[in-house]
């Protein structure tokens, strides 16, 4: 059983939700509600590299906002 998130020959998207949490996503599966595409379609590794460059703190955005106010 292959995993749809591990296919180096398939195209991927980068999705983001309201908490700025990012998700790798196979381009051939419908994007779930509450997520928007911010990158792709692109090869898997390119999507992962994009996430590494653009998502610097993996904690939810609403938490980071309250920490900034301290």
Partner 1 sequence: MTTITVAADLLSRLAAVVAAQPGRVAVHAVDGSLDFAALDRRTAGLARALRAAGVRRGDRVGVHLARTADLPVALLAAWRAGAAYVPLDPAYPAERIAFMAADARLAAVVSADAEPPVPAGVPVLRPDAQGTEGPAEPFTPHPLDSAYVIYTSGSTGRPKGVEVPHGAVAGLAAALELSGAYRPEPGVVAWNASVSFDASVQQWIRICRGDTLVVIDDTQRAEPTRLVRLLAEHAVTDLDLTPSHWQLLREPLAGAGAGTRVPRLFMGGEPVPARTWRELADARIDALNLYGPTECTVDAITTPVTGPGPHLGEPLPGVRAYLLDGRLMPVTTAGAVGELYLAGPGLAHGYPGHPGLTAGRFTADPFATEPGARMYRTGDQARRSAEGLLEYVGRVDRQVKLRGFRVEIGEVEHALGALAGVTAAAVTLHEAAPGDHRLAGYVTGAAVRPADLPAELRRTLPAHMVPSTVTVLDALPLTPNGKVDHSALPAPAAAATDTAERTAPGGVDEQVAEVWRTVLGVPDVEQSDDFLSLGGHSLAALRVVHLLRRKLDVELQLRDLLDAADLAGFTAAVRRAAAAGPAAARPTLTARREAVR
Residues that bind partner 1 (CB under 8 A): 1-5, 14-15, 17-19, 21-26, 29-35, 48-49, 51-52, 55-60, 62-63, 66-67, 70
Q: How far is the CB of 8 from partner 1 (least distance, A)?
A: 12
Distance CA 36, CA 15 (A): 5
Encode burial over 44-56: b for 16+ CB neighbours within 10 A, e otherwise: beebeebbeeeee
Q: Quick one: 9 or 30, whose CB is closer to partner 1?
A: 30
In eight-state DSSP terms, residue 31 is P
Q: How far is the CB of 68 from partner 1 (least distance, A)?
A: 9
């Amino acid at each position: 059983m292959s995993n749809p998130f591990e296919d180096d020959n398939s195209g991927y998207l980068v999705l983001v939700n309201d908490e700025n949490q990012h998700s790798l996503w196979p381009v051939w599966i419908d994007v779930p509600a509450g997520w928007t595409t911010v990158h792709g379609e692109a090869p898997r590794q390119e999507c992962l590299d994009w996430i590494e460059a653009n998502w610097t703190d993996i904690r939810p955005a609403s938490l980071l906002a309250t920490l900034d106010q301290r």
